């Protein structure tokens, strides 16, 4: 009764807290009211007596109980009504009272999902997205005025004008790739030039390109068994490797000289007003041929391209703009993709100058999609840089020389849209229309700037030629590709996170190639990082890391979930180690390590050691103190390459050899010196390890303790190994000489350490190998940065004579062999005749037209893919300079 009266208890059972929170759905008008109601309800429920605590006590009052039950029934009723209203399952009442609560809770959760999904749809609609409509067209072309896809929600950007154009990822554009005569090649193989005739050649095109048969030949076409076919194919292609990857116009470009007239001062020829200039749209072969003929007769023309890179793995060149002194042309490169090569006649004619602005990407796109090359290029961007103009973008040049205010908002339009909307058409046209006049002006300035001397102008021609020598390089996936991206992100991952990142990266790359989508479309970087960081336990958690959820992620969420699970299953280590393991496949020779501290892992990497073959490697694992005679230790010489000796030291003692001939004073002095022992030396396994003898046998010192423990440990190991060996060979060899035996052991333990490494790597890769080892270490111990001596071991170490004491696997003294040597274990000799993807690796630094580095994305707000604005690179492989 008391409970009933007290306001405090007229509240809800805690389990209803969530129910209430989740189920409150309100229309916009009710938002205010609903929100405050929810807030007070949440507050109230937080103040309730806790189940398992006070609650049970209060439950013993029948009045309280009764009240709770009525309140419960009321709420259940309300919730059911809500659920029914939304068309959800709602048979709450039928449930068993005992087991029912959980089920009911699930029902509520399900209903919430349904409701939230509806909310999402409604919000999308309010946002201007209509999921089932025709292609999105720009404003003015077709109502509605502002159209955005769900991938392209409006940002908080308040500039109306630009909003209108940030449409530009129309969902329902048919993929132009489908119409391409030659299918897109997303395979993980290097790009081979698309050229089979070479106009304006000084050096003829290699037979590989002219002979269609070789070029098109596939292993399966050969009329021999498959294995042999592969071999023959490989052999045949090997012969052509050099030609295949060379720039087809390398020779011509190398021998290109700028004619005198190009270095003299021109009279700038004013551009024709746009309105008075004819502009033709070219989408037939006939027109293209006519255009080519026209171009061949000119002394210069301006070129620009528009490209689309979101819904395609390698990107697609959608449009080519060409302007002559009197005419503009817009070429539909989607339609004429496989015919565009005929323009090579004009494009590679050294007598015809091709003017581009910022041609770096264009040169690559021309090769990649159209098989076009440029001989005699003038890049106005390079000229602007040589002149040290304030800014080097085309807008700036247009403003500066032509006083034209350009509008770069269409730059990121979806250039696949057909028919090409008029705004986009005009925009594209303006990109080249003024360029020849700008070219004139820039040449004048370059000469004036240099007091009439042609040096500066010449340097621009040279720079331009270098750009036209660029070769398109296809992104090649390697086992290490992910590290590059990871490094760029500057995140520190643990091994599980890094594994997840690696697996997701591989999944994304594969899917993107297969579906011909950009990696940014499949799974944007920031989402991939989020998933890797959070390692969600449930598929739902993966979805939660993505907003909005990319279609392919939603579709393959179970697949992704398995990958994340796989990553969770690997031992948790620090990130750096994981990264080292992955990339440490190619040891690099480094002559010397100047300072060496075995604990300083930051400085010791695989590259600190010269390469060696495992057979040559003597390893004295577990031997801190070598008791060998110096003379017998033949392997020590080889060790020197592996273990650096200190170059700066206080502890250089030269006493040993001449001990006999020393005076009493000298002996005393040397003993004093000896007492300054190098604290790190004890970690060095070599014979020149110097440890104070007294310290070594003085039970009060730390060294004594460690030395003893270590020695016992190694004795045990050795004994066990001996045992195994003896069994295997029976009585073949009774303990021969101690030296050879020692060496055997060393070798064996080294090999074992290799085995261990392999086991770990294999485990990570889930491949099966190395099962036959007798003594396997637990995977988690490998790579542990600071293994601690276990108490158990300390105990067992006290009874060294007991032969059958199993070595404790959980103890491992600091073992730099393992962390350092393992990198060699997997170092498979790469087939050097094979193509090396790293050589082709994309170098982002070369992309920047602006020497000051990537733009701090002043244009981010104008990006059409608003969900990534400023945050990620959208998976694009380019760092866009401002044009
Ligand atoms: P432009 O030479 O300025 O006409 O640019 C040619 C193509 O480069 C455009 O069609 C875009 O595909 C691409 N592009 C230019 N700037 C950017 C940028 N900031 N971000 C992404 N893509 C760009
Ligand atoms: Mn351009
Ligand atoms: Zn352009």
Question: Which residue lies with its CA nearest to atom 3 of ligand 1?
Answer: 883
Which tokens belong to 834?
């094979």
Ligand 3 mean position to 288 CA, how many Å? 20
Domain boundaries 480-577, corresponding CATH code? 1.10.150.80
Residue linked to tokens 């999902």: 113
Ligand 1 mean position to 268 CA, how many Å? 28
For CA atoms 26, 29, 31, 36, give the dihedral sign.
negative
Which tokens belong to 611?
């390469």
Taken as a whole, the chain contains a residue count of 883
- Proximal ligand: closest to the CA of 321: 3
Packing angle, helices 422-433 and 435-449, rounded to 10: 30
- Proximal ligand: closest to the CA of 317: 1
Ligand 3 mean position to 417 CA, how many Å? 15
- Proximal ligand: closest to the CA of 312: 1
Ligand 1 atom having least distance to the Cα of 357: 2
Phi, psi (degrees; rounded to nearest 5) at 811: -110, 130
Ligand 1 mean position to 693 CA, how many Å? 72
Q: In the chain, where are the structural domains located?
A: 10-44, 58-125, 233-469, 480-577
* C-alpha–C-alpha distance, residues 514 and 5, integer Å: 68
Alpha helices (runs of H) in 490-556, residue ranges in sequence order: 495-515, 519-522, 525-534, 539-544, 551-555
771 class by beta-carbon count within 10 Å (0-12 exposed, 13-18 middle, 19+ buried) = exposed
- The DSSP letter of residue 284 is S
Q: What confidence score (pLDDT) does residue 18 get?
A: 52
b/e code 31-56 from CB counts within 10 Å (16+ = b): eeeeeeebeebeebbeebbeeeeebe
- The DSSP letter of residue 31 is H
Question: Which residue lies with its CA nearest to atom 16 of ligand 1?
Answer: 880
Q: What confidence score (pLDDT) does residue 640 get?
A: 44
Report helix, strand or coil for 595: coil
Q: Are 214 and 233 in contact (CB under 8 A)?
A: no
- Single out the residue of 429, 473, 306 nearest to residue 843, CA to CA: 473
Ligand 1 atom having least distance to the Cα of 413: 10
Ligand 3 mean position to 410 CA, how many Å? 9
* C-alpha–C-alpha distance, residues 874 and 625, integer Å: 56
* C-alpha–C-alpha distance, residues 524 and 869, integer Å: 12
Question: Which residue lies with its CA nearest to atom 21 of ligand 1?
Answer: 880
Question: Which residue lies with its CA nearest to atom 13 of ligand 1?
Answer: 307
Which tokens belong to 362?
């264009």
Ligand 2 mean position to 840 CA, how many Å? 24
Ligand 2 mean position to 354 CA, how many Å? 13
- Single out the residue of 729, 746, 730, 749 nearest to residue 738, CA to CA: 746
- Proximal ligand: closest to the CA of 880: 1
**C-alpha dihedral, 377 to 383 to 385 to 388, nearest 10°:** 170
Residues with Cβ–ion distance below 5 A, ligand 3: 304, 431
Residue linked to tokens 């398109």: 472
pLDDT > 90 fraction of the chain, expressed in percent and rounded: 38
Ligand 2 mean position to 305 CA, how many Å? 5
Question: Which residue lies with its CA nearest to atom 20 of ligand 1?
Answer: 880
Q: What confidence score (pLDDT) does residue 88 get?
A: 74
Q: What lines the ligand 1 site, CB under 6 Å?
A: 304-307, 411-412, 415, 431, 859, 880, 883
Q: What confidence score (pLDDT) does residue 74 get?
A: 87
Q: What confidence score (pLDDT) does residue 579 get?
A: 47
Ligand 1 atom having least distance to the Cα of 431: 4
For ligand 1, pick from 355, 392, 411 the residue to mutate: most ligand atoms within 8 Å of CB: 411
Q: What confidence score (pLDDT) does residue 148 get?
A: 32
Ligand 1 mean position to 412 CA, how many Å? 6
Ligand 1 mean position to 411 CA, how many Å? 5
Q: If you compute the radius of gyration of the chain from its CA atoms, what whole number of angstroms results?
A: 37
Q: Which helix (H) or strand (E) holds 232?
A: helix 226-245
Question: Which residue lies with its CA nearest to atom 6 of ligand 1?
Answer: 306
Ligand 1 atom having least distance to the Cα of 361: 8
Which tokens belong to 319?
């449009």
Packing angle, helices 816-825 and 575-583, rounded to 10: 40
Task: Give CA separation, 273 vs 325, 356, 511, 736, in Å.
Answer: 11, 20, 48, 99
Q: Are 332 and 282 in contact (CB under 8 A)?
A: yes
- Proximal ligand: closest to the CA of 850: 1
Domain boundaries 233-469, corresponding CATH code? 3.30.420.10
Question: For 806, how many CA atoms within 13 A lie in the half-sphere containing its CB?
Answer: 6
Ligand 1 atom having least distance to the Cα of 876: 21
Task: Give CA separation, 485 vs 499, 853, 873, in Å.
Answer: 14, 18, 11
Residues of the chain with pLDDT under 70: 1-29, 90-99, 126-172, 215, 219-220, 574-661, 672-722, 724-883
Q: Are 337 and 181 in contact (CB under 8 A)?
A: yes
Alpha helices (runs of H) in 535-613, residue ranges in sequence order: 539-544, 551-555, 557-568, 575-583
- Proximal ligand: closest to the CA of 395: 1
């Amino acid at each position: 009764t008391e409970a009933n009266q007290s306001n405090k208890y007229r509240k809800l059972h805690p389990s209803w807290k969530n129910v209430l929170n989740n189920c409150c759905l309100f229309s916009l008008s009710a938002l205010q009211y609903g929100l405050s109601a929810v807030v007070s309800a949440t507050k109230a429920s937080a103040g309730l007596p806790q189940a398992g605590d006070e609650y049970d006590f209060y439950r013993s009052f029948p009045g309280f109980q009764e009240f709770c039950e009525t309140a419960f029934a009321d709420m259940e009723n309300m919730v059911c009504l809500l659920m029914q209203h939304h068309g959800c399952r709602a048979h709450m009442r039928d449930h068993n009272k005992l087991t029912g609560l959980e089920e009911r809770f699930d029902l509520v959760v399900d209903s919430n999902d349904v409701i939230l999904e509806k909310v999402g749809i409604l919000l999308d609609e309010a946002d201007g997205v209509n999921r089932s409509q025709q292609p999105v067209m720009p404003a003015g072309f077709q109502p509605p005025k502002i159209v955005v896809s769900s991938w392209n929600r409006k940002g908080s950007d308040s500039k109306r004008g630009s909003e209108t154009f940030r449409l530009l990822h129309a969902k329902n554009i048919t993929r132009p790739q489908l119409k391409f005569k030659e299918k897109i090649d997303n395979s993980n193989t290097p790009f081979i030039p698309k050229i089979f005739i070479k106009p304006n050649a000084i050096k003829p095109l290699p037979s590989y390109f002219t002979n269609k048969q070789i070029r098109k030949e596939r292993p399966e076409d050969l009329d021999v068994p498959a294995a042999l076919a592969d071999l023959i194919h490989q052999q045949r292609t090997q012969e052509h490797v050099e030609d295949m990857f060379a720039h087809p116009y390398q020779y011509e470009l190398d021998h290109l000289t700028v004619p005198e007239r190009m270095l003299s001062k021109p009279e700038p020829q004013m551009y024709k007003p746009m309105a008075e200039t004819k502009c033709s749209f070219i989408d037939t072969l006939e027109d293209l041929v006519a255009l080519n003929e026209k171009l061949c007769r000119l002394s210069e023309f301006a070129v620009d391209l528009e490209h689309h890179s979101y819904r395609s793995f390698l990107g697609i060149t959608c449009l080519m703009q060409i302007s002559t002194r009197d005419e503009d042309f817009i070429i539909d490169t989607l339609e004429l993709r496989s015919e565009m090569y005929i323009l090579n006649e004009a494009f590679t004619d050294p007598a015809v100058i091709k003017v581009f602005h910022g041609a770096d990407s264009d040169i690559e796109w021309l090769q990649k999609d159209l098989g076009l090359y440029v001989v005699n290029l003038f890049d106005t961007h390079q000229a602007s840089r040589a002149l040290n103009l304030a800014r080097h973008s085309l807008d700036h040049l247009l403003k500066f020389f032509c006083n034209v205010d350009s509008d770069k908002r269409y730059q990121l339009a979806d250039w696949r849209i057909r028919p090409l909307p008029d705004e986009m058409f005009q925009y594209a046209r303006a990109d080249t229309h003024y360029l020849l006049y700008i070219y004139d002006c820039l040449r004048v300035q370059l000469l004036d700037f240099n007091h009439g001397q042609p040096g500066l102008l010449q340097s621009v021609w040279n720079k331009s030629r270098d750009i036209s020598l660029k070769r398109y390089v296809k992104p090649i996936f390697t086992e290490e590709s992910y590290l590059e991206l990871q490094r760029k992100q500057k995140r520190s991952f643990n091994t599980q996170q890094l594994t997840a990142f690696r697996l997701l990266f591989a999944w994304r790359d594969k899917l993107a190639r297969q579906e011909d989508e950009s990696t940014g479309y499949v799974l944007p970087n920031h989402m991939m990082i989020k998933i890797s960081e959070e390692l969600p336990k449930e598929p739902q958690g993966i979805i939660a890391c993505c907003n909005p959820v990319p279609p392919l992620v939603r579709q393959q969420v179970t697949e992704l979930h398995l990958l994340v699970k796989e990553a969770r299953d690997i031992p948790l280590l620090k990130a750096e180690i994981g990264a080292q393991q992955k990339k440490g496949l190619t040891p690099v020779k480094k002559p010397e390590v100047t300072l060496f501290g075995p604990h300083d892992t930051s400085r010791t990497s695989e590259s600190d050691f010269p390469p060696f073959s495992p057979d040559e490697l003597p390893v004295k694992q577990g031997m801190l103190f070598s008791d060998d005679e110096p003379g017998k230790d033949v392997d020590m010489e080889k060790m020197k390459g592996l273990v650096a000796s200190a170059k700066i030291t206080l502890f250089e003692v030269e006493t040993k050899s001449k001990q006999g001939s020393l005076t009493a004073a000298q002996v005393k002095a040397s003993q004093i010196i000896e007492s300054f022992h190098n604290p790190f030396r004890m970690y060095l396994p070599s014979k020149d390890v110097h440890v104070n003898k007294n310290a070594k046998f003085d039970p009060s010192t730390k060294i004594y303790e460690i030395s003893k423990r270590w020695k016992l440990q190694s004795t045990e190991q050795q004994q066990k190994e001996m045992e195994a060996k003896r069994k295997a060979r029976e009585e073949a060899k009774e303990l021969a000489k101690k030296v050879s035996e020692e060496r055997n052991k060393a070798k064996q333990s080294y090999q074992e350490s290799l085995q261990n490494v392999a086991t770990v790597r294999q485990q990570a890769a889930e491949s099966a190998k190395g099962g036959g080892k007798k003594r396997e270490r637990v995977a988690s111990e490998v790579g542990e940065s600071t293994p601690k001596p276990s108490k158990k071991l300390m105990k067992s170490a006290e009874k060294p004579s007991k032969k059958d004491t199993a070595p404790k696997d959980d103890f491992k003294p600091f073992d730099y062999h393992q962390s350092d040597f393992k990198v060699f274990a997997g170092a498979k000799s790469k087939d050097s005749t094979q193509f090396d993807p790293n050589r082709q690796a994309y170098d982002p630094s070369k992309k920047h037209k602006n020497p000051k580095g990537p733009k701090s994305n002043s244009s981010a707000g104008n990006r059409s893919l608003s969900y990534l604005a400023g945050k990620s690179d959208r998976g694009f492989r380019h760092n866009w300079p401002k044009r």
